[in-house]
Structure 1
Amino acid sequence: MVEFLRKTFIKDYQNIKDPSVRKAHGKLASLVGVISNCFLFCVKLVIGLISGSIAMIADGINNLSDMGSSVITLVGFKLASAPADKEHPYGHQRIEYIAGLIVSMIIIFVGGNLFFSSFNKIIHYEMESVSNTVLWISIGILSLSILVKMWQSYFNKKIGNLLQSVALCATAEDSRNDCIATFTILLADIVLLFWKNIPFSLDGVMGILVSLFILYSGIGLIKETVDPLIGVQVDKAFVKEIVTEIKKDPFVLGVHDIVCHLYGPTKCFMTIHVEVDANQKLLEIHDVIDNLEKKIRLEYQVELTIHMDPIQTDNPEVNQLRVRIRQALEEIDEHLSMHDFRVVEGPSHTNLIFDLVVPYRFTRSNEEIVKLLQEKIQDEGKTYYFVIEFDQQFVQNDDLNDEYGN
């Protein structure tokens, strides 16, 4: 069904990297949500008013809020597809995250409203008699609603994962919550078929249980939608694929200092340092770097900037010191990573200069690392000074940061 709708209503539906195709997917998902939720709202409101079920009416209002969420998602996709401009040179794709955040806040509002209305019904409980005919109609409508919401959740999750859309994934989870909420109301109606004189408000109790679940889900969704706005790790497999492609070039001896910035689901900016032989011709290496940047930009839609680091490969003393320091670092912690290694000799001492990537979980201070290295790297007649630039690891994968000599 999902593929049928995509093929029918979206031109060139498989080209999801095209902004217009992405926008069309968002529009389709939003319109499906508006139509189906409007239908469910009308039906549940009528049945709820007839039966006097506050949970049924609340569930119908929840569907109305879902319809509003679909409209917000639609507007979000439309605004996010706008091209970059002078004020927003990185584009507008992050508006999708804001749309997802608004949907999450609506979920929390609905959960809170349901909690207080259900609590009020428990406090002011009045036994009411509902005919079996009304209950059976209610059970039928609720069963249909569960099926519709299950399909909505699957539909939005499928397209949300396809587009890497936080807003659609939030909508999918909201639909799943509705399934659970509606099921509890269905369960209460089934109980009332066989037990008319319940001494407490089963409707209210079920409503509170559902509201707590909705609130918990809404808080989790806020975290999921806020995280990309703050800044999160780029998918490791995606970065590793790009690094592997770069390292295929024979001029590339190693890579390090990978930094990625996401300005939306498909808007990625990346910088990376590439180590090259210092003896190579500068213009030749520059041409290689330019070609690599263009290749990655075309194949992966990533705005890549490569910084080249020339390193000595034909100096035995430098190579030996590089190996010794790497071994010493592994003895301190296997996750420490060194790059940009240089040796500068002076009349009184020799400077060993390099950058050191320290993982977040590392507990030792920078001074401790230098002291340990000084103890491990000693040669007779030589005085070594360690000049270390301590780096932060922006891409958390030990396989990605690599350097000459590994």
Structure 2
Amino acid sequence: MNRNQQIIRTSLIGILSNVLLASFKAVVGFLAGSIAIVMDAVNNLSDVFSSVVTIIGTRYSARPADRKHPFGHGRIEYLSAIVIAVFVIAAGITSLIESGKKVLHPTTPEYTTVTLTVIITAIVVKLILGRYVKSTGERLQSDALIASGADATFDAVVTLGTLVSAVIMLVWHFSIDGILGVLISLLIIKAGIEILASPVNQILGTRISQELITNIKDEVKTFDGVCGVFDVIMHTYGPDTIIGSLHISVLDTTSAIEIHKLTHRISHRLMEKFGIIATIGIYAINSGDNLTTQLQQQVMEMTAECPDICQAHGFFLDTETRTISLDIIPEDGVKEKEGLLKRYLKNLQETFPDYHFSIIIDNNYSD
């Protein structure tokens, strides 16, 4: 069973559980003449919405790439997670409004053995369902399933609040129904916003995990002829699709044929091991005399002393034009990058007046 099939199966279990729980509540509610239990059953039917959205999003995200969407449709999963998160936030706001009304105009709820039985059953079922769906979502890296599982867990929390209120009412004859509802509603809204952040960040283009970047660099460095790995840029187009690029440094004596074979092997390994479609760029390293090595060391030491630069790489000396090329990465807090470049170039030119400089400012996309 592949990833999409597991997501759909988990969502179908969620739908079945909510339908059965709603049916149980509805029957008990009608027999006991409790409109509260009947309305809670209707609420369980509305929870089916989360699972349906997950199934639809998963099916559409599995559609193959086409001319309009050459990177596939994987990001639809993020959109479905956003829809569910918005639904959770809306439910929290609605609950907050209703709880606020109870605080302003308190009522004395009545609890029976039947009511308490339904409440306890709902808590147990929802907690088990929420934990199962959320853990499956985390294992499959599905934001939609995680959001759907959280939705079920929040329902259990709300119902638990009702149970706590009922116990306090029965023991001390004091109702905190409204106050407890307000607190729980605020927690649901907060959690919904946190759930929303993950898929939104994925669509905006969040930074790839440092663990994956480290694994990529370590893997590429295992190839003979690779002297360094830089400029790792990765974009996610769904949990199963990552497209990006990176630079490797090789000696300037490496032939075009050797570079072609090397980059082809690296691209194949990254696809095979990480599922990454990668383009490989090249930095050449001078393999000349000691003068070039000494010059590189001086330039790098000077760059390291610059407080606004966190990294420099890609040093190369064109001996024919006496031009030194170098890429620098400013610190995250630097806003005037062009100003930094001018100051840096001025210092280099004053220190090494016999050379020309070609400096490129890179962004820190991964480290």
Using the size of structure 1 for normalisation, the TM-score is: 0.81
Q: 1:334 Cα deviation (Å)?
A: 8.9
Structure 2 counterpart of 1:301, one-letter code: G
What displacement does 1:304 show? 1.3
Give SS of 1:332's match: coil
Shift of 1:379: 5.9
The 5-angstrom pairing of residues 304-383 of structure 1 reads 304-333=278-307, 336-344=310-318, 350-362=322-334, 365-368=337-340, 371=343, 375=347, 382-383=353-354
The AA in structure 1 aligned to 2:176 is L
Task: Report the counterpart of residue 81 of structure 1 in structure 2.
Answer: 62
CA positional deviation for 1:377: 7.8
Amino acid paired to 1:387: S
The alignment status of 1:270 with 2:251, answered yes or no, reads no
Cα separation, partners in 2 of 1:315 and 1:137, compared to 1, 3 Å? farther
Shift of 1:363: 5.9
Q: Distance in 2 between matches of 1:43 and 1:304?
A: 53
Q: Distance in 2 between matches of 1:367 and 1:386?
A: 16
Shift of 1:261: 0.8
- How big is each residue's C-alpha offset from its partner over 1:226-249, in whole Å with a ceiling of 9 and x where there is no partner? 111111111221222122111111
Q: Look up the match of 1:293.
A: 267
Q: Are 2:11 and 1:30 equivalent residues in the alignment?
A: yes
Among 97, 115, 130, the alignment partner of 1:138 is 115
Cα deviations by residue, 1:145-187 (Å, 9 ceiling, x for unpaired)? 2222222222122211111111111122222222221111000
Cα 1:276–1:167 change in 2 (3 A) is: same
Gaps of 5+ in 1: 1-10, 12-20, 398-406
CA distance in 2, matches of 1:324, 1:242: 30
Identity level (%): 26
* 1:121 aligned onto 2:102: yes
CA contact (8 A) 2:326 2:360 kept: yes
* Alpha-carbon contact 1:62-1:110 (below 8 Å) kept: no
Query: Partner residue of 1:220?
Result: 194
Which deviates more from structure 2 when the two are superposed, residues 176-185 or residues 333-342?
333-342
Counterpart for residue 205 of structure 2: 231
The 3 A distance-change label for structure 1 pair 191 and 51 is: farther
Q: Where does residue 100 of structure 1 map in the other structure?
A: 81
Q: Which residue of 1 aligns with 2:230?
A: 256
Q: Which amino acid aligns with 1:139?
A: L
Q: Deviations over 1:41-74 (max 9, x none)?
A: 34445666757675x6665444333211111111
Deviation digits for residues 212-261 of structure 1, max 9, x if unmatched? 22112112222222111111111221222122111111211112111101
**TM-score between both structures, scaled by the size of structure 2:** 0.90
Range that drifts further, 386-395 or 202-211: 202-211
Instruction: Return the offset for 1:370.
Output: 5.1
Deviations 1:65-113 (A, max 9, x none): 3211111111111111111122211111111111101101111121122
Task: Give the aligned CA root-mean-square deviation in angstroms.
Answer: 2.7
Conserved 8 A contact 1:378-1:384 = no
Measured after TM superposition, the shift of residue 344 of structure 1 is 4.1
Q: Which deviates more from structure 2 when the two are superposed, residues 184-193 or residues 40-49?
A: 40-49
Instruction: Give secondary structure in 1 for the equivalent of 2:362.
Output: strand
Q: Which residue is 1:242 aligned to?
A: 216
In structure 1, give the amino acid aligned to 2:66.
D
Determine which of 143, 146, 149 is the counterpart of 1:172: 149
Superposed CA deviations along residues 345-380 of structure 1, whole A, max 9, x for unmatched, are: 689xx5432111223234675434653575478668
For residues 372 and 273 of structure 1, do their structure 2 counterparts lie closer, same or farther at Cα, with a shift above 3 Å needed? closer
Query: The residue matched to 1:360 in structure 2 has which SS?
Result: coil
* 2:309–2:328 CA contact under 8 A, matched in 1: no
Task: Give me the whole-angstrom Cα distance separating, in 2, the residues matched to 1:320 and 1:89.
Answer: 47
Number of residues of Structure 1 aligned to a counterpart in Structure 2:
366
Q: Quick one: structure 1 residues 372 and 358, their matched pair in 2 at CA, closer, same or farther if it must change by over 3 Å? A: closer
Alpha-carbon spacing, 1:111–1:47, altered in 2? closer, same or farther (3 Å) = farther
- Kindly provide the amino acid, as one letter, of the partner of residue 65 in structure 2: A
CA contact (8 A) 1:277 1:310 kept: yes
> Is 2:14–2:48's contact at 8 Å kept on the other side of the alignment?
yes
